[in-house]
Amino acid sequence: MFLKKLFGFMGKSLAMDLGTANTLLYTPKNGIVLNEPSVVALDSRDGKVLAVGREAKEFLGRTPQKIVAIRPMKDGVIADFEVTNAMITFFIKKVIKGMSLVKPKIVICVPTGITQVEKRAVIESGIQSGAREVRLVEEPMSAAIGAGMPIEEPMGNLVVDIGGGTTEVAVISLSAVAYSESVRIAGDEMNEAIQRYMQDQFQLLVGENMAEKVKMAIGTACPMTEPLTFNVMGKNIVNGNPKAVQVSDGQIREAIREPVDSIVQAVRRALEKTPPELVADIADNGLLLAGGGALLKGLDKLISREVQVDVHIDDDPLTTVVRGAGLTLSNEKKYSYVYIN
């Protein structure tokens, strides 16, 4: 019985959505076992890790000089190798106890536009963080699997995965990507656009966390039936005093118009560059919206109106990608072709 348990544990596998904004871990047995911000707080004097994930995110914009809170992922790829290693190691140990005795196999989701150098960095980071084997799967493919799309059939499936750092647009048919584009404009760009808008229109400096709260509360891609408002707290640029202003959904819609338009244009380009037979399939089946950006109010209606295609939002868009990666672990024989390394 002991040996059976030991070997079962040694066969532990994890799927990881290593995102710019959030990192999610999934096991075939337990489903989603971790969902935390991709943030690490360090002691600036010796580089010691002080906090990771949700706790570290609360440090953003609030740290004294001796502490620095950073996001080691940028545009969906590793920007700081050592800090990413520390973050992945922390998350894996949080999920799998006794990590030093046995090493898990990990499937990591990556953007479609990832370079060979960036691929090697992700694999190396996974190995150094304690994995015995690292496989990579492209995010749109993983999202399509997670949403239960018929990717094996000779049929066009259009996936739009909007994360924190990148928007992935891909057409999938016969278990392969027929067209893909990775646009480095997504949720983070919207947050930055809100910060710039508050500064330009109200002479108000707001932090990253506040901008994200505004986006989640009243961010919209098209007019809503009822107006929304939100009280934004920040710092007066002129005198440095605390300042609060009330903003409407219309104002925030204007603030994020540019990044939202860029996402719509990426979808339009995908349809323009896709063969007519596959476009006809997409017209019949609609397109899938996944990722945290899919939660932006009215985005599905805007895309549908602009490209004349039905838009479906996955039931739980934040976890679509990691669930798909988890399914490849549950049935490796069926999905072995989706790994890109």
Can you give the pLDDT at residue 326?
94
Query: Do residue 205 and residue 267 come from a single domain?
Result: no
Q: Residue 173 forms beta bridges with which residues?
A: 176
Top-confidence residue, 68 or 248? 248
- pTM equals 0.89
Can you give the pLDDT at residue 101?
60
Query: Do residue 251 and residue 276 come from a single domain?
Result: no
Of 231, 257, 283, which one is at a domain's C-terminal end? 257
pLDDT band (50, 70, 90) for residue 16: very high
pLDDT at 266 over 80: yes
Query: Do residue 222 and residue 171 come from a single domain?
Result: no
Of 207, 237, 257, which one is at a domain's C-terminal end? 257
Q: Is residue 228 part of a domain?
A: yes
Of 206, 228, 257, which one is at a domain's C-terminal end? 257
Mean pLDDT of 268-279: 95
Backbone angles phi, psi at 135, to 5 degrees: -115, 145
Backbone angles phi, psi at 51, to 5 degrees: -160, 150
Characterize the bridge pairing of strands 105-110 and 13-18.
parallel
Query: Do residue 161 and residue 52 come from a single domain?
Result: no
Q: Is residue 146 part of a domain?
A: no
Q: How far is CA 258 from the centre of its chain?
A: 20
Query: Do residue 192 and residue 176 come from a single domain?
Result: no
Query: Do residue 81 and residue 199 come from a single domain?
Result: no
Q: Is residue 151 part of a domain?
A: no
Q: Is residue 47 part of a domain?
A: yes
Q: Is residue 53 part of a domain?
A: yes
Backbone angles phi, psi at 309, to 5 degrees: -135, 140
Query: Do residue 81 and residue 216 come from a single domain?
Result: no
Mean pLDDT of 45-68: 84
Range of the domain at 13: 2-141+321-338
Mean pLDDT (the chain, rounded): 90
Query: Do residue 28 and residue 82 come from a single domain?
Result: yes
Can you give the pLDDT at residue 331?
87
Query: Do residue 194 and residue 205 come from a single domain?
Result: yes
Query: Do residue 63 and residue 137 come from a single domain?
Result: yes
Q: Is residue 206 part of a domain?
A: yes
- How many contiguous H segments (helices) and E segments (strands) does the chain have? 13, 18
What is the tally of structural domains in the chain?
3
Can you give the pLDDT at residue 75?
81
CATH of the domain at 105: 3.30.420.40
Q: Is residue 148 part of a domain?
A: no
Can you give the pLDDT at residue 104?
86
pLDDT at 5 over 70: no
The whole-angstrom separation of Cα 107 and Cα 288 is: 22
CA distances from 284 to 95, 167, 309 (A): 41, 23, 8
Q: What is the pLDDT of residues 82-126, one digit of tens each?
A: 999 999 989 988 887 654 567 889 999 999 878 899 899 999 999
The whole-angstrom separation of Cα 309 and Cα 144 is: 17
Query: Do residue 202 and residue 253 come from a single domain?
Result: yes
CATH of the domain at 232: 3.90.640.10
Q: What is the pLDDT of residues 114-164, one digit of tens each?
A: 889 989 999 999 999 888 899 999 999 999 999 999 988 999 999 999 999
Query: Do residue 325 and residue 242 come from a single domain?
Result: no
